[in-house]
A and B are shown apart, each in its own frame.
Chain A
Amino acid sequence: MDKMDDDHKPTDEQRACPDGNGELTLDGSVPVVQITNLQTRFGRTVVHQDVNLAIEQGEIMSIVGGSGTGKTVLLRQMLGLERPTRGCVRIFGEDISEANAEHLQQLRNHWGMLFQQGALYSALTVFDNIAQPMRELRTLPADVVRDAVLLKMNMVGLGPEHVNKMPADLSGGMIKRVALARALALEPQLLFLDEPTAGLDPDLSESFVALIKSLHRELNLTVVMVTHDLDTLFALSTRIAVLAEKHVIAIGPTREVIKVDHPFIKEFFLGDRGKRALEALDEKRLDEKHKE
């Protein structure tokens, strides 16, 4: 952990973190992600103030908010890439800013992250990118790794003909798929998605949403997602948390959140774009019902 400057001195309030048992709790008896009284400051700008958020096992939680409201910062704080000024972030019941190196590594093997640009290792092939987290364990035999990589690729809809390609030769949609396969390599229980459909055309983005949905069902994942895309948001989320004015102003299922009377929510969800997306969602639901 890097040292914080004077401005960010840990205070007693940080200790206000409710004591955990110092162990990963994977059975869902505690929220998978629990954020309490979190505050983030950059210099004099306060980004988050008293943010509280609990994400339960098995749900798909979307975090939305205008630009600059610190959605991605919050996501990075959950991953331990950034440290909140105050407050605590618990993942699987473990305080990530206090966890020792061994626990942190266990934690990291239990979550996967899909970065906005994929963040594939540009010097490695698709195969090596996906195999890398498995090889990092240093215990799995090569044939198991090989088959597991092919299986992961199969899960995200990539055929074995792509294994020897380099990330630079892939299209945007394929990069996302490979990155998702890599994020899923160690069978995580918790998956973080940063703008999963940004930069994909509507067709691709729809199939990607369907992919995440099916994987969520199949692998019993908890998904935390930051997104701007209303279609993705409505199609995937079981709950939505809205960040505005430094707080979580609303949290709950989509239908309840859009009823909240707040200028940002009105503008974001009930503008033309939002209405269109909602209508499309309703139509799709009806279609599905008809089919059944």
Chain B
Amino acid sequence: MPSPPAPSLNVSPEVVTASGTWQVHALANRSTVNAVQAALKQLQGKKVRWDLSGIQALDHIGAQMLWNAWDKQRPADLKLADGHDEFFKRLEGASNLELPRQRTHRLTSVMKLGFAVMGFFEHLLGFVKLIGQVTQDIFRFARNPMRGPWREISANIYHAGFEALGITALVGFLIGVVLSFLSAQQLRTFGGDIYLVNLLGMSIIRELGPLLAAILVAGRSGSAITAQLGVMRVTEELDAMLVMGISHGFRLILPKVIALAISLPLLVIWTDAMALIGGMVSAKIELNLSSRYFIQKLPDAVPLANYMIGLGKGVVFGTLIALVSCHFGLRIKPNTESLGHGTTTSVVTAITVVILADAVFAIVFNGVGY
């Protein structure tokens, strides 16, 4: 492309002559713009005659640069090329436009803290409301199970449960291998090799299995739920459902809560099994501990109560993940930024809430299962 003649200004003491192409495409060159701006700045406020008849092509942006140098007034003595007058007429007509001042709140740190606390309580209130609504919906479901959202529940179990089998198996197995490998090295130093089964069994079944499954599901399904609800808000599907008299709580939230409450315990069993298999394989290689011994010893080493606690954790974690992601999903505003922000917050909060709940479990059941 032959580059158009660059915009240039020729300043003699009395007259400023402009020439070249004063169009935005010629102004895409930084050095040209800088030169023109510098020249215009020097001329600002000075009384000179302007001769713009040498300008070959002009557009509104080029004209705007000149106009700004004239303090948004037409200079008394202005010579223009044919047809260029229209641009300046347009600018003159629009010259009294002012950008409204954007109201910016300057927050002191105390105010910021206050807003953060208020925001937290607002979220808490919303969350409690959501729990209340889900409880109501559960009663409605229990009164009339035939009209329940069975299809949605089953679809959600498939997506959140069945489709997560692969990743939970992989992660569970690897964690089992690593845990067993590291513990075996430590136990061997004081000859406690055979306690590896106790160590692995307790830690995986009671603690790691549920937590691993929950964190993976929070990342996988939690984000999916939030994003799904968020996009439904953006595309007004949520409003469409309300207009048709389909309640969000009953058809969107309840199925997700029930589905996760059912599938997470099942995933916990699966992850437990995979992690123990991983540990078993590693023990066989590292300590030459036979698989038969490992399996026989396991029921003695880990009382059944631990298993039940693990399953209970699964139910609670699943419910919490579904509730948290629905809570954030329904709060997404119809724009892309809010969608991204909401999904991030949802996953982070879901994982945090799961770990908090885990701590509560540890305290409540501190004497059980040893």
Contact = CB atoms under 8 A, between A and B. Distances in A.
Interface of A: 23-24, 103, 106, 109-110, 121-123, 127, 134, 137-141, 143-144, 146-148, 150-152, 154-155, 160-161, 163-164, 166-168, 186-187, 218
Contacts of A161: 100
Contacts of A155: 90
B287 interface: no
Contact of B24 (A127, A141, A164, A187): A187
A119 to B, nearest CB: 12
Contacts of A147: 64, 67-68, 97
A286 to B, nearest CB: 29
Contacts of B337: 122-123
Nearest to A106: B1
Interface in B81-129: 86, 90-91, 93-94, 97-100, 102
B61 to A, nearest CB: 5
A109 to B, nearest CB: 6
B47 interface: no
Contacts of A187: 23-24, 59-61
Given A109-B25, A123-B335, A140 B33 contact: yes
A131 B58 CA distance: 20
A150 B94 contact: yes
Contacts of A140: 24, 27, 33, 61
13 contacts: A24-B1, A106-B25, A109-B24, A127-B99, A139-B29, A140-B33, A140-B61, A147-B97, A151-B64, A151-B94, A151-B97, A187-B24, A218-B86
Nearest to A162: B100
Contacts of A137: 24, 27-28
Contacts of B99: 127, 146, 150, 160, 163
A130 to B, nearest CB: 12
A168 B93 CA distance: 30
Contacts, number: 91
Contact of B33 (A24, A139, A160): A139
B25 A110 contact: yes
Contacts of B64: 144, 147-148, 151
Nearest to A141: B37
A216 B269 CA distance: 69
Interface of B: 1-2, 23-25, 27-30, 32-33, 37, 59-61, 64-65, 67-68, 86, 90-91, 93-94, 97-100, 102, 234, 333-338
B60 A151 contact: yes
Nearest to A151: B94
Contacts of A24: 1
Contact of A164 (B2, B102, B333): B102
A240 B27 CA distance: 35
Contacts of B24: 109, 134, 137, 140, 186-187
Q: Counting chain A CB atoms within 10 Å of each CB, which of B28, B59, B338 scores highest?
A: B28
Nearest to B86: A218
B73 to A, nearest CB: 14
A171 to B, nearest CB: 14
Contact of B65 (A144, A146, A160): A144
A151 B25 contact: no
Across the A-B interface, the 8 shortest Cβ-Cβ residue pairs: A122-B335, A123-B337, A187-B59, A154-B94, A150-B97, A139-B33, A168-B334, A137-B28
B93 to A, nearest CB: 7
A229 to B, nearest CB: 23
A109 B68 CA distance: 24
Considering residues A106, A109, A127, A141, which has the most beta carbons from chain B within 10 angstroms of its beta carbon?
A: A141
Given A122-B336, A139-B33, A186-B25, 8 more contacts: A109-B24, A121-B336, A122-B234, A134-B24, A144-B65, A168-B335, A187-B23, A187-B59
A147 B86 CA distance: 17
Given A160-B99, A168-B335, A139 B27 contact: yes
A109 B33 contact: no
B97 A139 contact: no
Contact of A160 (B60, B61, B97): B97
Contacts of A186: 24-25, 61
A144 B98 contact: no
Nearest to B29: A139
A108 B336 CA distance: 25
A163 B100 contact: yes
Contacts of A141: 33, 37, 65
Contacts of A148: 60-61, 64
A191 to B, nearest CB: 14
Contact of A103 (B1, B2, B28, B90): B1
B302 to A, nearest CB: 51
Contacts of B33: 139-141
